[in-house]
Amino acid sequence: MEKHDNSEIVVDVKELYVSYRTFKGYVKVLNGVNLQVRKGEKISIVGETGCGKTTTVNAIAQILPRNAKIDGGEIFFNGKDEFKMSSKEIKNLRSRGISVIFQDPIASLNPVFTIGTQMREVIRYSGIEGAFNKEVQQEKAINALKETSLPDPERILESYPFQLSGGMRQRICIAMALATPRDLVIADEPTTNLDVTIQDQVLKTLKKRVEDKGSALILITHSLGVAREVADRIYVMYAGNMVETASSKELFREALHPYTQGLMSCIPKLSGGGIAEGIPGHIPNYLDPPKGCRFAPRCKKALDICHTKKPPMFEPIKEHYVACFLYN
């Protein structure tokens, strides 16, 4: 799809199909996802509830639940095929390659251990120089907290998660994710539970830390505004497909896919002017998804071909890809 030097691509997802086994049958969630993240790049996956954002990144981090089934496709991490990795390589992938920041810091921090214990554990398993030395661990942990602009790191290391506020907990998760060098950081809706002023602070911290460390970032969010603040490039996802991808500047200059256009018009604007009617219909039933383009049943501009054939990615504007037959 994109022509770039292969050596600088950190994650390359090719035509990934994932389904979940349920008592009603297989729920076909991912429908041929393509995604590339280059070294040091900040990308964002935007989409509504149930579109498969989390499934995509869980597949990349190899933390899919047991009832998930990979029906096809490949994921390359630093050029290595993830589905052919040995269990030891997968362990290394999780402890050194990728770190994940989850939506709910209360659930991702263990309530019965202090922050310090949990941070030192992350550092111990990272395999950096002196990882098993207690003093090195402590020093690294304190540094990580300081760099995330958390006040009084020594006290925080001795606290339990419930003693800290929501914003602080999420910043600790960021500190933990970036305490040791990583090639890729995945942030799964890191600010959804936070207030807008705290969200602003956490996003700024996240962006700065990722830039300092030179890690690549995949930020999952349902808010186009959040994606615009952080990401260099945005992927818009709908019902298990990437429908549009472009640099964030380009995407906000001109959205091409009817779904992206609909989404943009629904967002309440600070400058007023009312809200558009929304997008009619529902997200499709994944047990029996539409044959062609999955957005076709809701699309006002749908052509005949949309109902029978899945659209490939077109490039109507340079570096701006859209999966829609209108741009054929």
Partner 1 sequence: MQEEILKVTGLKKYFPVGGKENKNKFVKAIDGIDFSLRRGETLGLVGESGSGKSTTAYTVIGMYSVTEGSITFKGKDISMVTSKRPLSLKKEIQMVFQDPGTSLNPQRTVYKILELPLKIHKICPPDEYPYEIARLMRMVELPLEYMHKYPGSLGGGEKQMVAIARALATRPSIIVLDEPTSALDVSVQAKIINMLLRLQKEMNLSYLFITHDLSLMRNVAHRVAIMYLGKIAEIAPTESFFRNPQHPYTQMLLSSIPVVSEEEEKYKPKRIHSQGEIPSPVNVPKGCSFNTRCPFVMEICKEVDPQMLEIKEGHSVRCHLHSK
Q: Which residues bind to partner 1, rule: CB under 8 A?
A: 48-49, 165, 167-168, 195-201, 203, 222-226, 228-229, 252, 262-279, 282
By C-beta, is 7 or 197 nearer to partner 1?
Answer: 197
Shortest spacing between CB 238 and partner 1, in angstroms = 11
Comparison of 121 and 250: residue with beta carbon closer to partner 1? 250
CB of 89 to partner 1, least distance (A): 38
Pair 199, 172: CB distance under 8 Å: no
How far apart are CB 176 and partner 1 at their closest, in Å? 20
- Per the DSSP assignment, residues forming a β-bridge with 14 are 74
Q: At its nearest, how many Å lie between partner 1 and the CB of residue 254? A: 12
CB closer to partner 1 out of 47 and 116: 47
Residue 248 CA to chain centroid, in angstroms? 15
Name the residue nearer to partner 1 (CB basis): 118 or 170: 170
**75 contact partners, CB below 8 Å, separation of at least 6:** 11, 12, 13, 14, 16, 59, 60, 81, 82, 83
Those residues whose C-beta lies under 8 Å from the C-beta of residue 168, and which sit 6 or more positions away, are 150, 156
Give the C-alpha separation, 126 to 289, whole Å.
42
Nearest to 35 by CA among 67, 86, 82: 82
Report which DSSP code applies to 297.
G
Closer to partner 1 by CB, 86 or 197: give it.
197
- CA dist 15 to 36, 38, 200, 245, 323, Å? 11, 18, 34, 15, 13
Residue 18 vs 219, nearer CB to partner 1? 219
Question: Which is nearer to partner 1, 65 or 151 (by Cβ)?
Answer: 151
CB of 278 to partner 1, least distance (A): 4
Grouping H, G, I as helix, E, B as strand and the rest as coil, residue 326 is helix
Q: Which CA distances in Å does 319 have to 1, 9, 33, 191, 241?
A: 10, 16, 18, 29, 18
Query: Considering the complex, what minimum distance in angstroms separates the CB of residue 271 from partner 1?
Result: 5
State which residue, 127 or 225, has the beta carbon closest to partner 1. Answer: 225
Nearest approach in angstroms of CB 168 to partner 1 is 8
Least distance from partner 1 to the Cβ atom of residue 311, Å: 21
Q: Which is nearer to partner 1, 112 or 270 (CB)?
A: 270
CB of 274 to partner 1, least distance (A): 6
Is 46 in a helix, a strand, or coil?
Answer: strand
User: Phi-psi category of 140—alpha, beta or left, where left has phi over 0 and alpha has psi -120 to 50?
Assistant: alpha
- Positive/negative CA dihedral, 49, 54, 55, 56: positive
